[in-house]
Structure 1
Amino acid sequence: MVRIGIDDSSRHLEVLSALDRAKTQWYHFTAIVIAGLGFFTDAYDLFCISTVLRLLGRLYYYDPTTSHPGTLPPNVSAAVNSVALCGTLAGQLFFGWLGDKMAEKKSMVPL
């Protein structure tokens, strides 16, 4: 068990003040890009699912007798949406657990 005393809190303040004084380096831009790409790849399917639903309706539910493009039936649209959300949830849980297990030793180094 780690106890935070006066020495530990002053050490943490020194570390935080050193971070405040640090100049922006290439590492900071790399960290921002990696975090942005992580968000993009995680949420891309949720952002584009509405476009995919329209395309699926036009491709598989097109009625040639009318001039209107086809649309997905409500139950099919709900099923595709729910599969996308369940896949996102399962991926976040699994890859979050995997990331914790693989990076636990590297990120739990004491200051």
Structure 2
Amino acid sequence: MGIFTDAYDFFCITPIMNLIYYNKVSRSENYVIPSLLATSLVGAAIGQLIFGILGDRIGRRRVYGLALMIMVLSSIGCGFSICTTDGCVFVTLGFFRFILGIGISGDYLLSATIMSEIANKRTRGAFIAAVFSMQGIGILAASIVTMVVCAIFNMANKADIAWRLILMLGAIPAGLTFYWRMLMPETAR
């Protein structure tokens, strides 16, 4: 479920960019949207370094839970990116997307590591393939959720609610897996 959530959170931002203030970004600010999309990737690059070291030092299970909580809180934070001006919303959304990228990278990194350490040699490849196959399903879910929410909130004055809801819905699958992650045994390696 972790890789599913990672993919949902990474890819739900692109379809909703047109909903954020209904394209009020002027032509002189064309750098805003690509910059906003890149913030989670920059966070992911930094997060992989941080979580890789932490996983080796304090244990993968704890760090796995920490990454998940960062994802939940930052997904909710993305939806609460509230300001009075367009630019301010993009700044706060960029901040939470950066933090989300850090959490996603920890989840992504540790999902592969933990799965390869827990599975036996005979089933390891199948288990890792199953884990990473959830990425495609997460990307598909991001598009489906976006279409459903947009169909429900299909009025221009409700576009602001729609994009916030789409971003916050990414916290649900991550939150649902927290309990089971904390029950996992620490890996032996």
Give TM class, smaller chain.
0.3 to 0.5
Instruction: Name the TM-score, length of structure 1 as normaliser.
Output: 0.42
Higher helix content, 1 or 2: 2
Q: Which has the larger radius of gyration?
A: 1
Whose RCO is larger (CA < 8 A, sep 6+)? 2
